A and B are shown apart, each in its own frame.
Chain A
Amino acid sequence: MPHYPFPAIAPAVPEILLAGLAMALLVLGAFRGERSTREVSWLAVVALVAVFIVNLAQGGQSHFAFYGMFVSDAFAVFTNALVLIGSAITIIMGLQYDEDERIARFEFPVLVMLATTGMMLMISAHDLIILYAGLELQNLALYVAASFNRDSARSSEAGLKYFVLGGLSSGILLYGLSLVYGFAGTTGFADLAQLFAGGGPVSPGVIVGLAFIIAGLAFKISAVPFHMWTPDVYEGAPTPVAAFFAVAPKLAAFALFVRVLIEPFGPLFAEWRQIVLFISVASMVFGAVAAIAQRSIKRLMAYSSIGHVGYALIGLATGTAAGVRGILIYLAIYLVMTVGAWAVILCMRRQGRMLEEISDLSGLSHTHPALALALAIFMFSLTGLPPTAGFFAKLYIFFAAINAQLFGLAVIGVVTSVIGAFYYFRVVKVMYFDEPVAAFDRPFSFELQSVLVVTAIITLFFFALPGPLIGGADAAAAALFVR
């Protein structure tokens, strides 16, 4: 009888722990019913924090599990940490909103935890099969979350749209994966890398498969021309869900994108670079131009996120460790400032109704000076103006671009950031220059206030202590290039 050793699960402990805790909370919620929402939510946050600690305890070394299909390395630890922070904060931010909108159900934190498990699996995937499994686990949870406000036509529409387009993109991705498997004969990242590293001609089937994979993943990070779902879903989904979509899944998909292209397909850099260059430029230009005409702040944030994906893709187009480091710094800072901006959007409530128009922010500097200041800081940071954190995000991206001699891309990048400045500053203009309208409902929930204060402080004073983030990103990026 053959001997099957017990798999080395140590590298996957954070994922397993999170999945287990999600099940436990599901059971708890099912027994306690609707009134346990707050309790389950806070327990979910505690669980995410615990997993965060376990994740950090993994250390920076590369460990493989499940016969090389799963990896825990500095890159995974870093991006997992970002995703966990993003998920935990969105659960906290949504609490009050869900209660006010009468959609507070204990399933929401559980769904977020399950989606997060999927994301962590994507990040640590070292095999095309695991990649797909993680992605689908995430997607299924997100489809439900998008239509979470099930009595609202808008929310259901957003969920359906997300489901149809997400299903389509998953199909494209799966088709690409199977093409690669068919022509390369393996699904392991290490084997693929070894296969392509030999030089030699690569079968066109692999290239076509690679193009499909990129298209499928571009859907997930909402890069142009696969971005169409983003504004509609952000607008339709309940605001805390939209905030969640804007952050954690995007980071995870981006990390997956980077790992797939750099690790197994790294030797095919010359082939995929063209595509990445194109979607980067298209996203930057489209994100900047299309946002100008938006009236809804949620749609504005959607186009803004498309633009930011374009900037981060510059780092990928360099194909260097400096570029990946730039991406990781960018994603971390994007996480902070985007969460902050969405927290402000969650505060926009007047006489019990949520507001979504930019014009509803008129004269916010008179009615809520602190809130206006916080949003202004986030807008300056999203523009990339010093001394805010957003500047350093762009600095490291452009640093990598110039290093890789991508001058044209860098120039397009800075020009679109000036165009983008127009609409970010329009928000500042509305808050500071326009006449005030009625104030928002007070008080803002304690959770929202805390999130706002923390994110605003990090965004504004990042320059004082940039070392930990940049150092962490540096180590994480290096991990992708040593093998």
Chain B
Amino acid sequence: MIHWPLLSLVTFVPLVGVFFIIIARGDEAVVASNARFIALWTSLADFGLSILLWIYFDPNTAGFQFVERADWINLGGFSISYHMGIDGISLFFILLSTLLTFLSILSSWVVIKFQVKEYMIAFLALETLMVGIFCALNFIVFYVFFEGVLIPMFLIIGVWGGDNRIYSAFKFFLYTLLGSVLMLLGILAIYFQTGSTDIEYVLAHANLIPFGLQKWLWLAFFASFAIKVPMWPVHTWLPDAHVEAPTAGSVILAGILLKLGGYGFVRFSLPMFPLASHFFTPLIFTLSVIAVIYTSLVALAQTDMKKLIAYSSIAHMGFVTMGIFAVTSEALQGAMIQMLSHGFVSAALFLCVGVLYDRLHTHEIARFGGLVERMPAYAFVFMVFTLAAIGLPGTSGFVGEFLILLGTFRVSTTEAVLAATALFLAPAYMLYLYRRVIFGTLTRVDLRGILDLDLREKAIFVPLLALTLWMGLYPTSFVRPIQVSANHIIEQVTAAVDSAGPLHASLR
């Protein structure tokens, strides 16, 4: 263990970058260039710091590590402390956040031509908020970060987005805000039930919350997380937000923000409301299966690349929610791996779309075709990530889906079989997309001169490519830190359900 506040550093270092960008002076071009470099170096340094977390992380304990605690507000019987700490569940999300922010900034190097300073500030602020969400161990601190994310994301979609950006930004913002305010009331209700806003304390004293209240709290948290995931039928903001967001915005949206929902389910819903989770499992299973099948079919019919990938994200996240609420060790680990894998893969797919968008300013599938002739390196990169999205063995997509299906199968055969239809629906829409964009004959005049990936773009894809293959070929490096924490949650839930008697245990 190390003795300096590493988590606070990882969380707040980006704000140092923000400060330097704000004080940067000079004419517009100079400021823009300085802002780019400051943002790049800050996010790289932050990524480096977060790597230290992984190095010093002790995978043998389910307890929280790197814990920091300080009094914040302690007046009138309502104490809120600044409490940070991570376990196996949050560790990789922090790494994912810092990595994707760095890559996002790199990917926007040339494309963002106006208001560069504000753009970089928004991304660095977003990084602070995202990392903070995964580190926070106090409900109020968590909530501040969780809802704070909406502000920079709203601006990123609204200022640098596509033609219909205003509608999308509002839809994204209002949808997610509605969910999270209900969670705020849930947090306050938990405080009055358990006497604490400390997440660690509430996790240890989850038995203080009676079943009747658990159901209401579960629904309040569900409102927030289901919209974030997003689960069918509250997913409609996602395709709109993705289509209009700038490439880097889509990367963060798909890579991190969707994971907030899954993270919330694993961190709060399961261990804090085990009986309610058990009670509502059929609901989650039903919605997940509908999400998997319905959105896969919808993805088949898309004519816009970003929309197609957005719908595929919903289908993938359907797997994740199913895995989380199957409450088996394999399924939960699978869900965690699937979230991480989806974090690189969908981010990479959006970056792939971004590469084409930068060149032709469209993401309509019909505008492309035969790109393999002019862009062999691009075709290769796109293929690897397409296959990873399908879940080909050897890529990261396979590990997660396999573990989830394995774990779910033990709980509900029907559910697993229905979800497994995605195993042929996903290849259908992804390969269909790949064929239309990359293969075929290159007929359009403006595609003749299209350039292949340049060095900067390759540099963006290399780490994602490496991670996808690393996780696919040797998942142990990732599973090991997750394992103990995940098993601990499963034990907690199982014990709570078992001790509640046959009424609740009947489904097991």
Contacts and interface: CB of A to CB of B under 8 A. Distances in A.
Contacts of B233: none
B75 A471 contact: yes
B462 interface: no
Interface in B137-162: 140, 143-145, 147-148, 150-151, 154-155, 158-159
B143 A386 contact: yes
A433 interface: yes
B181 A417 contact: yes
A387 interface: yes
Contact of A418 (B158, B174, B189): B174
Interface string B168-187: 01100110011001101100
For A365, A411, A429, which residue has the most chain B Cβ atoms within 10 angstroms? A429
A467 B178 contact: no
A387 B181 contact: no
A418 B73 contact: no
A343 interface: no
Contact of B158 (A325, A386, A407, A433): A433
Contacts of A417: 181
Nearest to A473: B76
A75 to B, nearest CB: 15
Interface in A152-182: none
B118 interface: yes
A365 B159 CA distance: 10
Contacts of A229: none
A471 B78 CA distance: 11
A396 B182 CA distance: 15
A463 interface: yes
B158 A429 contact: yes
Contacts of B181: 414-415, 417-418
Contact of B148 (A365, A386, A466, A474): A386
A463 B82 CA distance: 11
A136 B158 CA distance: 48
B178 A418 contact: yes
B188 A398 contact: yes
A463 B143 CA distance: 13
Interface string A282-294: 0000000000000
B76 A433 contact: no
A440 interface: no
B165 interface: yes
A417 B178 CA distance: 9
B185 A385 contact: no
Given A365-B118, A417-B181, A432-B155, A387 B144 contact: yes
Contacts of B191: 399, 402
Contact of B76 (A322, A386, A411): A322
B447 interface: no
Nearest to B220: A411
Contact of B144 (A391, A432, A474): A391
Nearest to B186: A402
A365 to B, nearest CB: 7
A380 B151 CA distance: 8
Given A386-B148, A391-B144, A432 B182 contact: no
B195 to A, nearest CB: 12
Given A396-B78, A402-B189, 13 more contacts: A369-B118, A385-B148, A385-B177, A386-B147, A399-B188, A399-B191, A411-B185, A414-B181, A418-B178, A418-B181, A433-B159, A463-B144, A470-B76
27 contacts: A322-B76, A325-B76, A385-B150, A385-B177, A386-B143, A386-B144, A386-B148, A387-B144, A391-B147, A395-B140, A396-B78, A398-B184, A402-B185, A402-B188, A414-B181, A418-B174, A418-B178, A418-B181, A422-B170, A425-B170, A432-B158, A433-B159, A466-B72, A467-B73, A470-B75, A471-B75, A474-B76
Closest 10 CB pairs of A and B: A414-B181, A386-B144, A402-B188, A474-B76, A433-B158, A418-B178, A470-B75, A386-B148, A386-B147, A387-B144
